[in-house]
Chain A
């Protein structure tokens, strides 16, 4: 068994699976149940000034009958008194000294108030702090959460204030509701963050009820935007994590968040630069017990790959993530249909015919059986056919060797520029 011990910017936990700051970490009872189930850490539901929540609060998006493909919430930070939360944090930490408890904090952008909150929270023995600069709804209207998280100067300043008094590591949680997340990530680093976590939820409206014309969810007939998370946001989160990981100025560890539903997702985030991950929606969908498979699956995967520590995964794929202009334009792949596996649903044909490059023919073989064939010379290797194919192994994208040397757009531009220059000289 590999070593799953994780260290995210100075915060250690027995495994990389933390519960994100959200409803699952609302109370000591819940966090203790989570630790009993095997979770390595928990970021406590955000502490701050008292708030009042609405009913209802959540909504989810189903896709073709698959429930909770995406999840949307308009719940605010904790609605329990600070002293109650602190007492339960203390008790939980005492029971689970080896598990990571991180307090998520949100405060109006005032230095004294941040100092006051940090000091009170650190007194009960948390392992670290996570600054909630990401929550996109409700609190943002009061200048907190995403509202301050969208302004790099505010991120930097508030991080700095926290670091002035904090004795435990500080994570800055970033909002994705911004054009370039590396701008705020850099600001967090400048402010002294020990690590960053991303992404928080994305501005969203889960739906509109086509019969009542109400928003989903609605509160007494009115709706407001919420924060979107769950499996649907994973690609967005993964890109943002990767963008931060490959940015030289963001030189702090990353806690990956966004649609992580199983150990495979976790591996992907770690390969793209995360040192650990945070999970919420999957736990809300199925309960804390899902972590058992996450731990086991990750362990078996690491053994299979011959890795002795989970930390060896971190960042392995980052160097493979680059700019479009650096991609090799002379690399060619084409679709190859395996008619022995193909079940003749013809989805590849119609997808290619209607929406791609018209290069998959529906033909008959010598016995009159239907077969599909790719006209390789027309195939641009777009992958669409293999994406819509419902059967594994029926369509393979195979490399087509050519005699052209690798050449990216940027290299091509450079060559053209140098040629033009030499011509004009």
Chain B
């Protein structure tokens, strides 16, 4: 096997699927609670005991329907949800034995529907109202699905080659294979939703033009690339953007391998973990995550942290990069860092950090991966003229209405600045809720075709 094929295997799904027998045995362990806390803990409110019970009775179609009805990206969420903080964390069996593997059962049922090419939903009776959704990620797809089921005519404007957003491009394929996200997109398309791909609003089509075509617009544009570090040497060859790196591994052909190379990842969120584990799986010999605080303040989920450690990623706490050095050819060669020390907690409760004078040291590297959050689409938002705070679109609490008439927003573009938490499952729920608000608003005006 050649190196590329071997590396490709590194990107196949890590987590094993449950066999039918495992799924049935696990489903039989579910207590089928009444008013179950797992349902409350799920942002999309999936009737979990019901879908699990349906697995046990071999009604897997019904199970998949129950899941996907509540969560149009339920197959992705089965893999990427921090279940121990959501449904599984709320499982009452935490108090007696061990919680039900809800995520894995959800994957079993949705995998079954995908594998058997089942049609789960039908388009509603057509309504002569049209909705334009900008962005085909979890929020946009979810919103589109609910509107199409109601009968609305829906068009998604997607900047990328394929819809699915974060699920398609942003989550490492060894956790979420692209085919899963693609299936969810197909489910939405089959309801008659038109998805215009490679169509970047503001570039390929103007916002005004879209607005003139639709009765309502939904902004579900998510977030952009990793912001600049504002460090000298940032533009050297070998300095990557974690989001772009992950995206490049989700194409049919892998990017240039990192076999035998050493590098660092700057940041300690889930994206940093993704960048680091991708680098390992591309063959890198040594990958270190640099974070200026400690594991206490790290925003990556515990299971992501564990996963990275299993992959051999090293963590260097209280380490702040200050300079990226390169050679004459413009290639990165090393990164200079300073040691930090912990101070008293700041206003946000997190302990502040302070660089230690004269603690500078250098790490030899072949590559540097930036993973310090994501940029906002400020330019587009300003062009649209919608109210926002640093790129976070302001919406009416619970109504998803922006400052503009008939323009709604949901998903990552509304997250941040203290509003909500950026999870796929939350975006999906917001997409659904936005669809319901639009429907409520248009219901009075719309008429169904006879």
Check B95 for interface membership: any CB of A closer than 8 A. yes
CB-defined contacts of A344 to chain B, threshold 8 Å: 33, 37, 92, 95
- Given known contacts A64-B56, A391-B96, is B33 in contact with A345 (CB within 8 Å)? yes
CB-defined contacts of A64 to chain B, threshold 8 Å: 28, 56
- In the docked arrangement, what's the CA distance between A345 and B96, Å? 11
B34 x A343 contact (CB < 8 A) = no
A346 x B34 contact (CB < 8 A) = yes
Shortest beta-carbon distance, A25 to chain B, in Å?
32
Binary CB contact string for chain B from 16 to 31 against chain A (1 if under 8 A, 0 otherwise): 0000000011001001
Q: Report how many A-B pairs have Cβ atoms within 8 Å.
A: 36
B33 x A346 contact (CB < 8 A) = yes
Check B93 for interface membership: any CB of A closer than 8 A. yes
- In the docked arrangement, what's the CA distance between A65 and B32, Å? 15
Binary CB contact string for chain B from 24 to 57 against chain A (1 if under 8 A, 0 otherwise): 1100100111111100000000000000000010
CB-defined contacts of B56 to chain A, threshold 8 Å: 64-65
Check A349 for interface membership: any CB of B closer than 8 A. yes
- Given known contacts A64-B56, A349-B34, is B93 in contact with A343 (CB within 8 Å)? yes
Check A329 for interface membership: any CB of B closer than 8 A. no
CB-defined contacts of B24 to chain A, threshold 8 Å: 65
Binary CB contact string for chain A from 48 to 77 against chain B (1 if under 8 A, 0 otherwise): 000000000000000011000000000000
- In the docked arrangement, what's the CA distance between A144 and B206, Å? 91
CB-defined contacts of B28 to chain A, threshold 8 Å: 64-65
Q: Which of these, B33, B37, B93, B95, contacts A347 with CB under 8 Å? A: B33
Check A362 for interface membership: any CB of B closer than 8 A. yes
A345 x B25 contact (CB < 8 A) = no
Shortest beta-carbon distance, A267 to chain B, in Å?
27
Check A224 for interface membership: any CB of B closer than 8 A. no
Shortest beta-carbon distance, A305 to chain B, in Å?
30
Q: Which has the most chain A C-beta neighbours within 10 Å: B31, B32, B36, B93?
A: B31
Report the count of interface residues on A (CB-CB < 8 A).
12
Shortest beta-carbon distance, B104 to chain A, in Å?
16
Chain B residues numbered 91-131 whose CB sits less than 8 Å from any CB in chain A: 92-93, 95-96
- Given known contacts A64-B56, A65-B24, is B34 in contact with A350 (CB within 8 Å)? yes
A343 x B35 contact (CB < 8 A) = no
Check A235 for interface membership: any CB of B closer than 8 A. no
Q: Which of these, B35, B93, B96, contacts A362 with CB under 8 Å? A: B35
CB-defined contacts of A346 to chain B, threshold 8 Å: 33-36
The chain B residue sitting closest to A350, CB to CB, is: B34
The chain A residue sitting closest to B25, CB to CB, is: A65
- Given known contacts A390-B96, A391-B96, is B31 in contact with A347 (CB within 8 Å)? yes
CB-defined contacts of B32 to chain A, threshold 8 Å: 347
Shortest beta-carbon distance, B225 to chain A, in Å?
43
Shortest beta-carbon distance, B13 to chain A, in Å?
26
CB-defined contacts of B25 to chain A, threshold 8 Å: 65
Q: Which has the most chain B C-beta neighbours within 10 Å: A64, A343, A347, A349?
A: A343
- In the docked arrangement, what's the CA distance between A349 and B37, Å? 15
Chain A residues numbered 306-358 whose CB sits less than 8 Å from any CB in chain B: 343-347, 349-350
CB-defined contacts of B95 to chain A, threshold 8 Å: 343-344, 391
CB-defined contacts of A345 to chain B, threshold 8 Å: 31, 33-34, 36, 92
- In the docked arrangement, what's the CA distance between A345 and B36, Å? 7
CB-defined contacts of B34 to chain A, threshold 8 Å: 345-347, 349-350
Shortest beta-carbon distance, A217 to chain B, in Å?
20
- In the docked arrangement, what's the CA distance between A64 and B37, Å? 23
CB-defined contacts of B92 to chain A, threshold 8 Å: 343-345
- In the docked arrangement, what's the CA distance between A373 and B69, Å? 34
Shortest beta-carbon distance, B149 to chain A, in Å?
30
CB-defined contacts of A347 to chain B, threshold 8 Å: 31-34
- In the docked arrangement, what's the CA distance between A25 and B37, Å? 52
- In the docked arrangement, what's the CA distance between A349 and B93, Å? 17
- In the docked arrangement, what's the CA distance between A344 and B96, Å? 11
Chain A residues numbered 357-373 whose CB sits less than 8 Å from any CB in chain B: 362
The chain B residue sitting closest to A66, CB to CB, is: B28
CB-defined contacts of B35 to chain A, threshold 8 Å: 346, 349-350, 362
Shortest beta-carbon distance, B324 to chain A, in Å?
51
- In the docked arrangement, what's the CA distance between A390 and B31, Å? 8
Shortest beta-carbon distance, B176 to chain A, in Å?
30
CB-defined contacts of B93 to chain A, threshold 8 Å: 343
- In the docked arrangement, what's the CA distance between A343 and B34, Å? 12
Shortest beta-carbon distance, A30 to chain B, in Å?
30
Shortest beta-carbon distance, A160 to chain B, in Å?
51
- In the docked arrangement, what's the CA distance between A390 and B33, Å? 10
CB-defined contacts of B33 to chain A, threshold 8 Å: 344-347
- In the docked arrangement, what's the CA distance between A344 and B32, Å? 12
CB-defined contacts of A349 to chain B, threshold 8 Å: 34-35
Shortest beta-carbon distance, B323 to chain A, in Å?
52
Q: Which has the most chain A C-beta neighbours within 10 Å: B25, B92, B93?
A: B92
- In the docked arrangement, what's the CA distance between A349 and B92, Å? 15
The chain A residue sitting closest to B27, CB to CB, is: A65
CB-defined contacts of B31 to chain A, threshold 8 Å: 345, 347, 390
CB-defined contacts of A343 to chain B, threshold 8 Å: 92-93, 95-96
Binary CB contact string for chain A from 226 to 260 against chain B (1 if under 8 A, 0 otherwise): 00000000000000000000000000000000000
- In the docked arrangement, what's the CA distance between A350 and B34, Å? 7
- In the docked arrangement, what's the CA distance between A344 and B40, Å? 13
Shortest beta-carbon distance, A354 to chain B, in Å?
9
Shortest beta-carbon distance, A273 to chain B, in Å?
36
Shortest beta-carbon distance, B194 to chain A, in Å?
40
CB-defined contacts of B96 to chain A, threshold 8 Å: 343, 390-391
Shortest beta-carbon distance, A361 to chain B, in Å?
12
- In the docked arrangement, what's the CA distance between A343 and B95, Å? 6
Q: Which has the most chain B C-beta neighbours within 10 Å: A344, A347, A362?
A: A344
CB-defined contacts of A391 to chain B, threshold 8 Å: 95-96
- In the docked arrangement, what's the CA distance between A390 and B92, Å? 10
Shortest beta-carbon distance, A339 to chain B, in Å?
11
Chain A residues numbered 183-235 whose CB sits less than 8 Å from any CB in chain B: none
Shortest beta-carbon distance, A386 to chain B, in Å?
15
CB-defined contacts of A350 to chain B, threshold 8 Å: 34-35
Shortest beta-carbon distance, A2 to chain B, in Å?
35
- In the docked arrangement, what's the CA distance between A391 and B37, Å? 17
- In the docked arrangement, what's the CA distance between A220 and B95, Å? 50
Binary CB contact string for chain B from 56 to 83 against chain A (1 if under 8 A, 0 otherwise): 1000000000000000000000000000
- Beyond A64-B56, A343-B93, 16 additional contacts (C-beta under 8 Å) are A64-B28, A343-B92, A343-B96, A344-B95, A345-B33, A345-B34, A345-B92, A346-B34, A346-B35, A347-B32, A347-B33, A347-B34, A349-B35, A350-B34, A362-B35, A390-B31
6 contacts between A and B (CB under 8 A): A65-B25, A343-B96, A344-B33, A347-B34, A350-B34, A391-B96
Q: Closest 3 interchain pairs by CB? A: A350-B34, A346-B34, A343-B95
Chain A residues within CB distance 8 Å of chain B: 64-65, 343-347, 349-350, 362, 390-391
